[in-house]
A = this chain, B = another copy of it.
Amino acid sequence: MTDAGTRSGIARFVDALGGRLAFGADYNPEQWPARTWSEDVALMRQVGVNVVTLGVFAWALLEPAEGEYDLAGLDDMLDLLHDNGIRVDLATGTASPPAWFSTKYPHTLPVDQHGVRRGFGARQGYCPSAPEYRAAAGRLAGTLAARYAQHPAVVLWHVNNEYGCHNWHCYCDVSAGAFRGWLRRRYGDLDALNTAWGTSFWSQRYTAWEQLGPPRDVTYNSLANPGQQLDWWRFGNDELLACYRVEADAVRGHATQPVTTNFMSFFKPLDYRQWAAEVDVVSNDHYLLGEDPARTHHLAMSADLMRSLAGGAPWLLMEHSTSAVNWQPRNLAKAPGELLRNSLTHIARGADGTLFFQWRASRFGAEKFHSALVPHAGTDTKVFREVAELGAALEAIRDVRGSRVEQPQVALLFDWQSWWAAGLDAHPSVDVDPMAEARRWHHALWSRNVAADVVGPGDALDRYRVVVVAVQYLLDDETARKLADFTRAGGTVVATFFSGIVDEHDHVRLGGYPGALRDLLGVRVEEFFPLAADEHVLLSAFGSGRVWSELGATAGADVLASYAEGPVAGSPAVTRRVVGDGQAWYVGTSLDDRGLDDLVGQLLVAAGVEPVVSGLPPGVEAVRRVGESGRFLFLVNHSGDDVPVPLSSGVELLTGRSLGDGMVVPAGGVAVVREA
């Protein structure tokens, strides 16, 4: 986290809003006639909007021809907003180059894995390695920064937008050259590359740099080299991060406001841990998958990731939706009350503001059926009323600003490098999904109201009692050592199947799985026995397993459950090894939901981890933020029943009521209690 000032980026940003929690939206006035603008700002004031993101896709307007800028409209808009007390997160406008750019530089359009150059007409139509794109984007960013660095409305710089969403990899010849350069820098010489990639296999040895290229489509049903593929993911991340740096540097050359770019939750192509180190404000876009039954949990987990990326400090929810989106197969609307629940859950988990895409629903274009603060039907709508309700709620709880979520005692280790590696082809089972398994473990904690951080290999573990290592296939020596140290120092590690299998080059650690954790866990697995599709295997305890089983034996661990049927019957499935004051648990299969819940329950008891609040009925999510202005307990009732909560002191901020004989959180409602 770099920051020009002494206060953090998020603090400076919220200061600039008068200390209010951020509330606003993307604002695209160019889609509307000028007469709408004054209505817009009036409505914004009415509901309490205090910041808007401006100009995300304005390149074509701001630079209508190469090197010709037309900024008068933007001048006026900034003034109008400022005159109405609305601050601006000003975008560099570079997310999608204009038609004139793609026509003049056609080779900057991205090329897919099949070698097809993708056409202009959607968004992000650029190759991340294209020098012409980087130069043009940097020029525009610098031009805007120079002009508006001093404008009082501007409180945050929004570099580009959702990097990589539609162009995460480009397979063009320019990218190929960039990849070769990247590999040269990474490996120095070809011998090192050949060793890392294991090219003494299938006659793949490289003898000149020019022989190297992207993993385009290979021969039918065959498999590209995994080292090449893994480095391609790394390269893709690095190229987009380099694009970000060009613009951020251009902005910082002129401006002192904090700089951000909006993340997209668990977005596989970008290792946001690397990115978080280069933004002043961690900001996130989060959208519910309407047909996902676990969508509410996903929101919480995404927020926990953002908080963790921000080092526990507040972050900013840059985009979510008031109701339906437009890009899912079936775009389910939000039920009454869901907008408030979603928004306050982000706040509960550390956001110091909640912004939306977008202010006014478009009447044309590909996103015209995406919900907004002002729907097509206008202000006499459920959505707009709930927006106003949210504005009032944010005002009522404004004191939470700057507070931090109470330090979680559990960490979930989740590493992008491992995610990339685990997703490569020709693995034991396509059903092994690190993201899915991580979600299941986080869900088991969340449903018990046990707070958790989402940490990476480089993060300190000493603040935690429990570290969950769910399908972390790739583990380097340093991380393995860190986990062992943590355990010896009294911590509890719980690792699942298919963790610690390979090193950072995707080379299998020999001598028995899981090589990186074998000694720590006291388990030696000799052979994987993936399960067939939809197969279950009964265990002696903790129910049954799916996806995975294996043949192994303990070597110092106690067996908590073994396989009760099938070819590995009798082999250990769940084990625990006492290591000094700590414990190392191993779970060799994907436990069914109840079994996982049982196991997590036992684990938490053993590790002495408590929930945020005890005695809550199921369906009520609880999170606590703590700061100089007090302790704030957020209670989100996901159930359909009014729920009494066993609290007897404090003030519920949304209603202003003091707690005497307890409190009821209404069905689908939220309470924010300033604790005594």
Interface residues of A (CB under 8 A from B): 28, 30-31, 57-61, 64-65, 93, 95-100, 102-103, 110, 112, 114-125, 165-168, 197-208, 210-228, 290-291, 323-324, 326-327, 329-333, 335-336, 361-369, 371, 375-378, 380-383, 425-431, 505-508, 510-513, 524-533, 551, 567
CA of A256 to CA of B621 in the docked complex: distance in angstroms? 78
CB within 8 Å for A377 and B525 given contacts A201-B31, A217-B119:
yes
> Which chain B residues border A327 with CB–CB below 8 Å?
223, 426
Q: Is the CB of B98 within 8 A of A366?
A: no
Q: Is the CB of B211 within 8 A of A367?
A: no
Q: Is the CB of B526 within 8 A of A198?
A: no
CB within 8 Å for A201 and B362 given contacts A510-B378, A512-B377:
yes
Q: Is the CB of B124 within 8 A of A366?
A: no
Q: Is the CB of A426 within 8 A of B369?
A: yes
CA of A120 to CA of B211 in the docked complex: distance in angstroms? 9
A176 CB to closest chain B CB, in angstroms? 10
So how many copies of this chain end up in the complex? Answer: 3
CA of A65 to CA of B117 in the docked complex: distance in angstroms? 33
Q: Is the CB of B123 within 8 A of A219?
A: yes
A162 CB to closest chain B CB, in angstroms? 11
Q: Is the CB of B125 within 8 A of A508?
A: no
> Which chain B residues border A30 with CB–CB below 8 Å?
200
Chain B, Cβ-Cβ closest to A518: B377
CA of A540 to CA of B122 in the docked complex: distance in angstroms? 43
Chain B, Cβ-Cβ closest to A226: B366
CA of A61 to CA of B122 in the docked complex: distance in angstroms? 46
CB within 8 Å for A330 and B531 given contacts A95-B203, A512-B376:
yes
28 contacts between A and B (CB under 8 A): A59-B203, A60-B207, A65-B207, A110-B219, A112-B217, A114-B114, A119-B214, A119-B216, A125-B219, A165-B221, A166-B222, A168-B220, A225-B365, A290-B532, A291-B532, A329-B429, A330-B430, A330-B431, A332-B530, A366-B425, A366-B426, A367-B426, A376-B510, A377-B526, A378-B510, A382-B527, A383-B526, A383-B527
Partner of A567, one of B205, B227, B336: B336
CA of A611 to CA of B378 in the docked complex: distance in angstroms? 44
CA of A206 to CA of B61 in the docked complex: distance in angstroms? 10
Q: Is the CB of A333 within 8 A of B512?
A: no
Which secondary structure dominates where chain A touches chain B?
loop
CB within 8 Å for A122 and B224 given contacts A31-B200, A505-B364:
yes
Chain B, Cβ-Cβ closest to A59: B203
CA of A382 to CA of B211 in the docked complex: distance in angstroms? 42
Partner of A118, one of B219, B291, B330, B528: B219
CB within 8 Å for A206 and B291 given contacts A427-B369, A428-B369:
no
CA of A21 to CA of B464 in the docked complex: distance in angstroms? 60
Q: Is the CB of B213 within 8 A of A528?
A: no
CA of A530 to CA of B333 in the docked complex: distance in angstroms? 7
Partner of A428, one of B331, B378, B426: B331
> Which chain B residues border A228 with CB–CB below 8 Å?
121
Chain B, Cβ-Cβ closest to A549: B333
A170 CB to closest chain B CB, in angstroms? 10
A536 CB to closest chain B CB, in angstroms? 14
A295 CB to closest chain B CB, in angstroms? 11
CA of A118 to CA of B533 in the docked complex: distance in angstroms? 31
CA of A60 to CA of B225 in the docked complex: distance in angstroms? 15
Q: Is the CB of A207 within 8 A of B64?
A: yes
Most-contacted residue by chain B among A59, A203, A332, A371 (CB, 10 A): A203
Q: Is the CB of A323 within 8 A of B527?
A: yes
A519 CB to closest chain B CB, in angstroms? 14
CA of A210 to CA of B106 in the docked complex: distance in angstroms? 12
CA of A368 to CA of B98 in the docked complex: distance in angstroms? 46
Q: Is the CB of A119 within 8 A of B203?
A: no
Partner of A381, one of B64, B165, B220, B526: B526
A262 CB to closest chain B CB, in angstroms? 16
A420 CB to closest chain B CB, in angstroms? 16
Q: Is the CB of A217 within 8 A of B100?
A: no
Partner of A103, one of B199, B211, B336, B530: B211
Partner of A203, one of B60, B112, B528: B60
A612 CB to closest chain B CB, in angstroms? 29
Q: Is the CB of A508 within 8 A of B368?
A: yes
Partner of A527, one of B97, B377, B525: B377
> Which chain B residues border A330 with CB–CB below 8 Å?
428-431, 530-533
A313 CB to closest chain B CB, in angstroms? 32
> Which chain B residues border A220 with CB–CB below 8 Å?
112, 118, 166-168
